Amino acid sequence: MSFTLAIVGRPNVGKSTLFNRLVGKRLALVDDQPGVTRDLREGDARLIDLRFTVIDTAGLEEVTDDSLQGRMRRLTERAVEMADVCLFLIDGRVGVTPSDEVFADILRRKNAHVILGVNKAEGRAGDGGAIEAWSLGLGEPIRLSAEHGEGMDDLYHILRPIAEGF
Ligand code: GDP
Ligand code: MG
């Protein structure tokens, strides 16, 4: 059996970079798939021996009349509903921002199964961000570098028992 992982977080934290790393060239989807708007990209992910569906949330970068927070909330809620587990990314070089706190709040209220990822943490760059991330109240943060492929083994070890539940 398989499961669905949604990557959520504010713009520019590296969601699409991680999505692309997990999906490689196996991008399955999308625009014409029922129930999936251009704001949600879906692909077939592979991580070592795990196979799962991954959802990238996008569209928050676009300038519209709609407030960013409103769109953020709706998009994240939709992703949470589609997903078995959410990977909430923050930027380890920037640390925790007010937007990150809004996301954390949504995820806690939704009772979502959340993995907290501190991205852009190649080398020691994410050390400060990883410590700050504890304040989000979402458990132990894992350090990732979507761009350089670091932390993928930690992600695997967290996802593996989840995968066994499906
Ligand atoms: P998204 O808006 O959350 O989808 O973020 P993107 O995947 O588009 O990435 C935003 C920027 O962060 C891009 O310039 C990426 O190259 C950069 N980026 C993504 N992952 C990493 C990483 O692990 N380390 C560093 N240093 N930069 C990254
Ligand atoms: Mg993106």
Ligand nearest to the CA of 17: 1
Q: What is the pTM of this model?
A: 0.91
User: Kindly report the CA angle at 20 between 148 and 140, in degrees rounded to 5?
Assistant: 60
Beta carbons of 161 and 128 less than 8 angstroms apart: no
pLDDT in tens, the chain (166 residues): 689 999 999 889 999 899 999 998 655 444 444 444 467 888 999 999 999 999 998 766 666 666 777 877 888 888 999 999 999 999 999 999 999 999 999 999 888 899 999 999 999 999 999 999 999 999 999 999 999 999 999 999 999 998 888 8
Residue with the nearest Cα to atom 24 of ligand 1? 120
d(CA 17, CA 39): 15
ipTM value > 0.95: yes
pLDDT score, position 59: 65
Q: Is 12 annotated as a binding residue?
A: yes
Torsional class of 131: left (φ above 0), alpha (ψ -120 to 50), beta (otherwise): alpha
- Distance separating alpha carbons of residues 12 and 34, to the nearest angstrom: 27
Q: Indicate whether residue 16 lines ligand 1 (CB < 6 A).
A: yes
Q: Is the beta carbon of 59 within 6 A of some atom in ligand 1?
A: no
- Our mutation pick for probing the ligand 1 site, out of 7, 8, 12, counting the most ligand atoms within 8 A of Cβ, is 12
